[in-house]
Amino acid sequence: MIDNKRDLLASNPVWAFFDEITRIPRPSKHEELIVKYLLDFAAKRGFQTKQDKVGDILMTVPATIGNEDKAPVILQAHVDMVCEKNADRDIDFLKDPIDYYVKDGWVRANGTTLGADDGIGVALGLAIADGGLNGTIEHGPLYCLFTVDEETGLTGAYNVEADFLPAARLINLDSEDEGQIFIGCAGGCTTRASLPLRMVVTPAGMLGINLKVSGLVGGHSGGDIHLGRANANKLMARFIRLAQERCGLRVAEFNGGNLHNAIPREASAVCAVPMCHKEDVRVELNCFIADIEEEFRNVEPTLAFSLETADAPAQLFADDFQRTLINAITACPHGVIEMSHTIENLVQTSTNLASVRTTPASVDVVTSQRSSMESGKVLAQSMVASTFQLAGASVQESEGYPSWTPNPDSSLVQLACQTYRDLFKSEAQVLAIHAGLECGLFLDKKKGMDMISIGPTLRAVHSPDEAVDIASVDKFWVFMLELLKRL
């Protein structure tokens, strides 16, 4: 087991390039230094490069001797990284290198994200390009496509030009489990609804109460939507709907959730009830809590719903406005809509009721839809939009990004599976994910591309616990070299 940097750097050429990359600041939207590094790398080796308007780089790598007649392939990775750190870690991600260490067969950073997502993919592409020059690697014509700003909006892939996809086959190096071959991903879009706010003066004899849902697990709206976790916005609307009928509960403010791609973990509401129902509302809440704790007992161990008394707010939602809003949030679909009929256990279509925000003029609701079928994405978006349009809201539907429909019979998939089988005497898993990959945007630019997404084993990406398994990188290197020989 490798447990120090010296042995790591000597074990595999990928690690030497990864070491260089960790010294280059490259937050999303600040990729200038890594772009310069890649251009310098190509210039020193005589590789032709071109750059598009957003900064994507296409590097042309000639075939090794005797392989000139092979069909070309694109190796693709994104150059930016998520920059997160522990509170006690002092680092300037725009200036400082990533301080990493090796322990127990894993590479980790000291209190920050490591940037193996997708620095290890960039390093692998560079190691292959470099190895072909010195005669240690055999491959046909290669193109290395390095995209920018993947983490905060797929900007590079969105804006890549068609001539940056000069081959019919592409290998995306941005997956996180060795031995898995991804052949599809969901497309996504966002639907926003806005209901013009109508308020009335709070009647006399009302007691203010503050409601809060907290302690939910949450999670990624793509990778975790099938796990049945609670949605804080939905729980809050459920209780308000119950309490408005039984206790005369009135709402002054409703807020919950944050990111469009996260299942909301918390929600709060500023409310009021008639003084005569101040005990009734607590009884209703206690009964409601007992019900939802039983409903979610296997998935939400730290769920909490609290009620605190306060001064009554000066204004409340108009009664008909409140009923319309709460009915719309209650009716709005959330969760899995349809499972795939092609790939076992794959979510095909889903929607996430992501956030609710009360502003001085409106209550705004943000939702996100995903599907591995473009028609499914449109259907999910239509379901959400229709719900809020029936409530009288104005609705904005984003075009979003396209799906990558799985094709398990593709020649590249079959070759990758056979290569893995021959090398390791075991079967690679062929999968699709219910999240977005750059591949969907590439396919939208160039129809009919044959693509796979693969990579070594990474854990806890986007967090200071991010780590990459050394043995998986070494195994993945062997696999890639053999796959390139056979292409």
In this structure, are residues 334 and 191 in contact, taking their beta carbons and an 8 Å threshold?
Answer: no
Which amino acid type is present at position 387? T
Half-sphere exposure of 161 (CA within 13 A, CB side): 11
| Cα 179 off chain centre by | 21
DSSP 266-305: -EEEEEEEEGGGHHHHHHHHHHHHHHHHHHTTTT-TT-EE
Query: Whose structure tokens read 């007649």?
Result: 69
Angle at 270 between CA 269 and CA 272, to 5 degrees: 120
Q: Which of 31, 56, 80, 151 is catalytic?
A: 80
Q: Is there a contact between 211 and 254 (Cβ–Cβ < 8 Å)?
A: no
Parallel, antiparallel, or unpaired: how do β-strands 429-433 and 450-453 relate? Answer: unpaired
Residues 6+ apart with CB under 8 A from 408: 183, 342, 343, 430
Catalytic-role residue among 31, 150, 174, 266: 150
Q: Output the CA–CA distances (angstroms, integers) from residue 187 to 65, 81, 263, 402, in the order listed.
A: 40, 22, 17, 4
Question: Taking phi first (over 0 means left), then psi (-120 to 50 degrees means alpha), and beta for anything else, what does residue 345 get?
Answer: left
Residue 438 annotated in active site: no
- Which DSSP helix (H) or strand (E) runs through 366? strand 362-371
- How is 214-265 classified by DSSP, letter by letter? E-----BTTTSGGG----HHHHHHHHHHHHHHHH--EEEEEEE---TTB---
Told to judge if 80 belongs to the known catalytic residues of this protein, a careful annotator would answer: yes
> What are the catalytic residues?
80, 150
